[in-house]
Amino acid sequence: MTVGVAGGSASDRHALYDLFAAYGALIDAADFDAWLALFAATCTYHIMPQENYQQGLPAALVYCDSRGMLEDRIRALREANKYNIHTDRHLIGLPRLIGADGDAKLVEVPFAVCQTDQEGETRLFATGLYRDRVVVEAGGLKFRDKLVLLDTFAVPSLLATPL
Amino acid sequence: MLTAAIWPSLDYSRVPYRLYHDPEAYQREQEGVFRGPTWNFLGLEAEIPNPGDFRTTYVGDTPVIVNRDANGTIHALVNRCAHRGAMVRREMSGNASEHTCIYHQWCYGLDGRLHSIPFRRGIRGKGGLDPGFDMAAHGLRKLQVGSVNGALFGTLADDVEPLEDYLGPPVLAQLRRLFERPVTILGYNRQRIRANWKLYAENTRDNYHASLLHEFLVTFGLDRSTQVGGVKMDARHRHNITWAEAESDTAELAQEAYGAAQVRSNYLSLKEPELVRFRRERADALNIAITSVFPSAVFVQISNSLAVRQIRPRGVDEVEIFQTMLGYADDPPDLTLHRLRQANLVGPAGLVSMEDGEAIEIAHRGSKPDCEDTTVIELGGAGVISDRDYRVTDVPLRGFWSYYAELLGIEPAGAVR
C-alpha cells in the first residue's frame, strides 16, 4: 500500500519536524514569547473539545480568532491568572501532511501532554490532535491556524498553559 | 453518625470540614439532597427538539435519560434496566424510538414503559418468565419533570413542592430573563475537579472571592466589587443570585477601595478589548448574573457569555462541572461571534473562572486532615441570613448550609434559616 502525501519533500518534512519540536519545547520551557513567534502575523488558535467538534458546535475552550487575542491570553496568563503550579511535557507525534489550502500546508499531528506537580507527581493531562495550516513567512514555517482538537475534553482540574 | 451536634454555631458561620470529606455525608446527600425533595437541572428542551431525541445526564449519582416522545412530551427516566440494573442508554445523545438494554434486550418505550422481553414465554414452552410477571410494574422509573421556558428540571421525590414554588420569585424571574427567547446550544465543556462538590456549590454563591481570586476581572476592567451589586436569595435562602450592574462605579471609587497597589488600571489595555466589552441586550444593566439553584445548577451570565452549569458529584473527592454554552436562536452572526469570543471568560480555561478549579482543590486538600476544624463564613456578618446590596459578602453560603442541614436531618434546634 502506498500512502498519498501532499507536497512532502524530505526537506519540507524536516522543517515541519523542527517546527513541532520547537512548539512543544517552548511551551514546556514556558518561553511564551518565542512560542508566539512560531505563529504567523495573522493567525488563529483554538482549543476545541472533540465533543463539540464532532457535533459541529462552535464553542471552544480557548477561542482566539486573531493574533491579538492570542497575545492577550498569554498576557493574562502572566499577569492575572492563577493556576495549579506545574510543568508541562509535550509528547508530539509525527506530522502527517494531509493536503494544501492555497499557500498553506494542512498538517495533522497527534499529541499528549503530561503535567508534573511540585512534588514530582506526573499525570496524563491531555491527548489530542493538532489540525494546522502552516505557511512560509519571513523565511520560516509558521502556524497560520492552529486547531487543538482535545480528546480529553473532561479537563483535569483546569486548563491554563497552552496545549 | 452525622447529627445536629456537628454544628458549632446556629448560624452556619462555622462549617466542619468533615462535611466535605466524610463518605457518610456523601451517601446521605444522595438520599436527602439528590433523591430528596429538590428539583435538579436536567438539560434544555432545545437539546432535544425532535420526537425521539434523547440525552443522558445525572441527578446526583443517578443516571438519567431525558427524551421527547412521538407526541412531543418530555420524559425523564432513571437510566437503569429493571432486570439487572444495567444502564439502558450508553450514548450521550441520539434519536431513538425505544430504549433497549444490550444485556438481555429488555426494551422500553420513551415514556419508560416496559414493551418487550426476549423469550418471555421461553422456547418451545420451556424457560421464560412466569405468566403472572407484571410488565407494567417493571418500567424505567420516571422522574417528575418541570420546565421554565425550556430549562428542564426533574425530581426523584414523590412529595415535593411545585417547581415554581421551589425556585421562588427572584430565581424564577432570573430564569425567565435568561430564557426569554429560544436558545441555541453553542457547545459544551467539562471539567473534573479534585474537590468535593459542595466546595463548588459554595464558590458560586461567594461574591467575596470574585474580584480577589479572579484578578483578570479587575486588571482588565470587566468587573469590580465597587460596582453596584449584591446577593439575592429565595425565601428559604437555598438558592442565590449574585448580581452586578455594568458601569455603575467610578475608577476613583475603585482605586480608593482596592488601594493603589491592587488596581493596576490596565482597563481596555487588551489588544482585543471586545473580549471584555459588554453589549447591553436588555432594559436592565446587569452584566453579572449568576443564579445558583440548590443543589446543583448554576445559570450564568458574565458580560454576554451565557451558560448553564451542572454540578455532578463524582464521589466524595471529585466533581464534574458540565457546562452548556448558550446563545439565542435569533442572535445575528456578529453577536454569536461575540459570545464565542466571550466564552473565553468561562469554563475550565476561562480567564475569570480557571482559578476556581485550583481554589477548591487547595481547599479540599488543605481541609482534609482536620475534619473537626471548621471554615469561617462571616463576610457580611454572622447571624441572620438575608439579601445584601453589596458584594463583599458570603452570606448565601450560610443559606446553602441551612437547607442542606434540613434535608440531611441534621438541622440544630434554634438554627437560623
What are the pLDDT digits (tens) for B302-360? Answer: 999 999 999 999 999 999 999 999 999 999 999 999 999 999 999 999 999 999 999 99
pLDDT at A6 over 80: no
| Residue of chain A whose alpha carbon sits nearest to that of B270 | A72
Decide if B357 and A158 are in contact by the 8 Å CB cutoff.
yes
Hey, what CATH class is A10-150 in?
alpha beta
In this complex, the residue of A52, A81, A154 whose CB is nearest that of residue B187 is A52
pLDDT at B257: 78
Number of alpha carbons in the 13 Å side-chain half-sphere of residue B260: 0
What are the pLDDT digits (tens) for B127-153? Answer: 999 999 999 999 999 999 999 999 999
What are the pLDDT digits (tens) for A40-84? Answer: 999 999 999 999 999 999 999 999 999 999 999 999 999 999 999
Q: Strands A140-150, A154-156: parallel, antiparallel or unpaired by DSSP?
A: unpaired
pLDDT at B210: 87
pLDDT at B409 over 80: yes
What are the pLDDT digits (tens) for A101-157? Answer: 999 999 999 999 999 999 999 999 999 999 999 999 998 999 999 999 999 999 999
pLDDT at A43: 98
Q: Which residues on chain A are in Cβ contact (under 8 Å) with B336?
A: 58
Q: Answer whether B157 touches A (CB < 8 Å).
A: no
pLDDT at B75: 98
Decide if A60 and B194 are in contact by the 8 Å CB cutoff.
no
pLDDT at B260 over 70: no
| Residue of chain A whose alpha carbon sits nearest to that of B361 | A157
In this complex, the residue of B190, B271, B341 whose CB is nearest that of residue A63 is B341
pTM above threshold 0.90: yes
User: What are chain B's domains?
Assistant: 40-148 (2.102.10.10), 169-408 (3.90.380.10)
pLDDT at B266 over 70: no
Q: Answer whether A37 touches B (CB < 8 Å).
A: no
The dihedrals phi and psi of B269, each to the nearest 5 degrees, come to: -90, 0
pLDDT at B368: 96
Residues contacting B410, CB < 8 A, separation 6+: B2, B3, B4, B6, B7
| Residue of chain B whose alpha carbon sits nearest to that of A159 | B349
Residue (of A47, A69, A30) closest to B220 by Cα position? A69
Confidence of residue B258 (pLDDT cuts 50, 70, 90): confident
pLDDT at A4: 46
- Number of other CB atoms surrounding residue A102 within 10 Å: 7
pLDDT at B404: 98
pLDDT at B223: 78
Residue (of A124, A155, A54, A151) closest to B321 by Cα position? A155
Residue (of B303, B306, B307) closest to B286 by Cα position? B303
What are the pLDDT digits (tens) for B110-125? Answer: 999 999 999 999 999 8
Cell output for B10: 446556629
pLDDT at A2: 47
pLDDT at B226: 84
Q: Say how far apart CA B11 and CA B371 lie, in whole Å.
A: 19
Q: Which residues on chain A are in Cβ contact (under 8 Å) with B320?
A: 154
pLDDT at A79: 92
Coil, strand, or helix at residue B397? helix
Confidence of residue A1 (pLDDT cuts 50, 70, 90): very low
What are the pLDDT digits (tens) for B11-65? Answer: 999 999 999 999 999 999 999 999 999 999 999 999 999 999 999 999 999 999 9
pLDDT mean over B368-392: 95
